[in-house]
Chains A and B, each alone.
Chain A
Amino acid sequence: MNGIRRLTQTMITAAAFAITSAVAQPLTDVDAIITQANIASYYAGDDGRSAARMMIVDGSGNQQRRQFTLLRKDVTNGGDQRYLVVFSRPADIRGTVFRVEKHVGANDDRWLYLPALDLVKRIASGDKRTSFVGSHFYYEDISGRGIEEDAHQLVETTATHYIVESTPKRPDEVEFSRYRTQIDRNTLLPMQTEYERESGEIFRRMEVTAVETINGYPTGTEVKMTDLDTGGYTLTQFRFSEYDIGLPDSVFSERSLRSPPREWLRRN
């Protein structure tokens, strides 16, 4: 039954998208585009669960893996969020749990649970543009960069994409001079982001290489981040994603760090 309901829902959503894209005029207000793209990438549904895995390949071809399950709940749509990330591999990271209270326009609260010591460590929110668990993704790529951090400009509207150029308001805090994002006109998902140096040289690229519609929400299910300086990259795949599963606030607590909430982590 559940499958049929979901299929119907998907078909309706797909039809709705087909209709809106055929009828609707392209958006022209860059703030509206950026706001909707942010919501499409990071705020699908009121909450969600996804299994994720990463293949991290350095410039010499050495490979590493990460696998985790991610729970998310929005406090407000487009605003604060709660995250719980439970790692299952590799062996030396298994059982580590990461909890984030994301605050838009303020420092996040972050906790890390280290199972071998039964230690709940509070982490200084620090620089969000540092590697997420050793991958080429930054913390900010996982939970979203605040849209108010940059000035955005719609530079082109193609048949399929909006091309937006973003310039940091505090350039000394980031490693890039600007970035250019291709946002799908139908789904409003950012499909590619290229980070540039002052010279215009592109040194970092994010690409969404697979999109699936899940519970009515178009979702990037495979994302690649490439470091063009070294040739290293990280490929992240999301599976078993579900939205609007009714996660209670209590899941995002110290209790879940020490004993991960199996009933919410389990795939359906």
Chain B
Amino acid sequence: MDWISALGNTAVWRAMALFVLIALSTYADAQSETDETWGDDAWGEDPWATEDSAWQWYGFIEGAIAPRLQNDRNIGEEQTLSETRLQIEGQRQLGGYSATLKADAWLDAVDDHSRADLREANLAGRLTPQTDIQFGRQMITWGTGDLVFLNDLFPKDYVAFFSGRGDEYLKAPINAVKLSWFSNLNIDAVWMPQATPNRFVTGERLSYFSPQAGQRIAAPPVLDPSDRDTLGDDSELALRLYQTINGIELAGYAFRGFDKQPSAIDPETNEAYFPRLSTLGASVRGPLMGGIANLETAYYDAEDSSGTDPNRPNDQWRLLGGYEHEPLKNLTLGWQYSLEWTQDHSALLRNLPDNQRQYAPEAYRHVFTNRVTWQVLRQDLTLSLFTFYSPTDADYYLRPRASYRLSDRLTATAGGNIFGGDNEWTFYSQLEKNSNAYLRLRYSF
């Protein structure tokens, strides 16, 4: 047994021990908690209950383990995830403003390090009766898609998402100033002094396909694009204009900044970088035949508007249509179709070297998604399956999940991330060797 798999096994045991610990502490805690929280004195929990300006603290401790479902010859680790995580969140009032701090610290047995991540550190409040400001490190989400993002160009953490962490870790934090103006037309303006890219697959935890190498690869070397961290020059601006009219939500979006993925290559240095990207888009969402329908579109104005430079991404039209409904009691179905239409596609193909042509994106990439959610036991148990399927790429990504609330404090979640497809270079198929099944146990306080 080499040292890598020995470490893997240690991690498994460490995670299992944590699970037992959490379960025992909850059991011991269960009886004592119930009585003291129902007395007349226990009403003070609402953060707005009083003028109190003390910090209020919350958090959770979570054990998570995600064994790989197949061996990846590129990566020695047997898990995509093996960690013990603590999240602490604090809130307090400072005059008319509320301050929020949220930080994670975890022992990561996959990369054998202790890690920390500041997820929120911001002040939010009212500048004028019609204007809100949120200043600092924060999470921002907009748009109408379900796990499909067109006009939301805030960074995503795909490593967390694919490796088995909770859904809330799909969004990565940004340092930003968000100004919101509320009137007949509502406006959100977000300024980010430095570009924040996605937490993309670098080859460290998950392997990916490299067109240059012509195969799936992993670290070393770590995919390490040149940074976009010059204050000012590398700033980004995102805008949303929106209003709801008779239950129909209308929105327009604009973004000026950089691609969140390192999608371009500098031919001089052969180094990946985040190319300039501007987008313009719109969405509509409203009730339709007992369900909720949404339509969204965006134009991606990329660096290579003529399509002649194969090292840089072309412009794209993106389109999304979705429908969610509840055909049976406690059973929800969501359907989405999305299109990525690459502009000047023939110019792209013409200018690619012969051996790279097969890896080029399709002119029209179609993706269908489906979400099935079934809630049982008065919502204590949620069973769900999210499916991504692309007929043009001939690949898929399945996210089955069962989540059970054992108590108000303890939730167990089991699920999987399963990738597959015909060709190893397509979007989901490249991740096939990273397919995993996970188990998470979270104790909230």
Interface residues of chain A, those whose CB is within 8 Å of chain B, are: 51, 53, 55-56, 58, 62-65, 67, 69, 88-92, 94, 101, 107, 109, 114, 116-120, 122-127, 129-131, 133-136, 239-240, 250, 253-255, 259-260, 262, 265-267
CB interface residues, B 336-356, toward A, < 8 Å: none
Candidates A90, A117, A260; contact of B171 at CB < 8 Å: A117
A88 touches B409 (CB 8 A): no
Chain A positions within 8 Å of B141 at CB level: 117-120
How big is chain B's contact interface, by range? 35 or more
> Which of chain B's residues have a CB closer than 8 A to the CB of A239?
43
CA of A133 to CA of B379 in the docked complex: distance in angstroms? 7
Given A53-B43, A69-B48, A266-B49, are A122 and B285 also a contact pair (CB < 8 Å)?
Answer: yes
Q: Mark B138-173, 1 if CB is under 8 A from A, else 0.
A: 111110000000000000000000000001101100
B408 touches A90 (CB 8 A): yes
Interface string of B236-255 (1 = CB under 8 A from A): 00000010100101000000
Cβ of B405: which chain A residues have Cβ within 8 Å of it?
Answer: 64, 92, 134
Question: Are A88 and B45 interface neighbours, CB within 8 A?
Answer: yes
Contact of B34 among A58, A63, A120, A127 (CB under 8 A): A63
* Shortest 5 CB-CB contacts between residues of A and residues of B: A126-B326, A116-B168, A90-B408, A91-B444, A134-B379
Q: Which B residue's beta carbon lies closest to that of A240? A: B43
Specify which chain B residues have a CB less than 8 angstroms from the CB of A118 in the assembled complex: 138-141, 171
Contact check: which of B60, B182, B290 meets A124 at CB < 8 Å? B290
Contacts of A129 in B (CB 8 A): 329
> What 1/0 mask marks residues of chain B from 110 to 125 whose CB sits below 8 Å from any chain A CB?
0000000000000010
Chain B residues, CB < 8 A from A124: 287, 290-292, 324-326, 332
Question: Which residue from B49, B60, B247 sits with its C-beta under 8 Å from A109?
Answer: B247
> Cβ of B170 and Cβ of A67 under 8 Å apart?
no
Contact A265 B444, CB 8 Å, known A62-B407, A123-B292, A129-B329 = no
- B13 contacts the other chain (CB 8 A): no
Alpha-carbon gap, A90 to B409, bound state (A): 8
CA A124 to CA B285, docked complex, whole Å: 11
List chain B residues, Cβ under 8 A from A250. 182
- Asked if residues B182 and A265 are in contact (CB atoms below 8 Å), the reply is no
Within 8 A of A (CB), among B178-198: 180, 182, 186
